[in-house]
Structure 1
Amino acid sequence: MLIASIALIRRYARYRSELNCINRLDERTLRDIGFSRCELTTAAWRNTARRQWP
């Protein structure tokens, strides 16, 4: 259980980092890559499940 909790905390930290980077993009750039502002949180959370970096 402790390992699962640590993994979730690390995933949340990656999620916040990813979300901060994506939020810096302007509307035109987001539109070019196929995202809208309302989709960013979901996309960032899904992306953290795929990436495994410390």
Structure 2
Amino acid sequence: MAVIYERGSLIGLGLIAGSMSLAMREAGLAADEVSGHARSPESGGRARDRTGR
């Protein structure tokens, strides 16, 4: 699949946005990075644990 975005960013890292960010990265839809922004430190921590970043 072709790169669609230079960078992708999602607000909120719940089930939907978290899954979208992983799918975007796995499919190579963003050339540089896919980032997410969470309101709570717990959500951000879970997302970091899932992605290894």
Q: Same fold (TM over 0.5)?
A: no
Question: TM (normalized to structure 2)?
Answer: 0.30
Q: Which has the higher strand share?
A: 2
Larger fraction in helix? 1
TM-score normalised to structure 1 length: 0.30
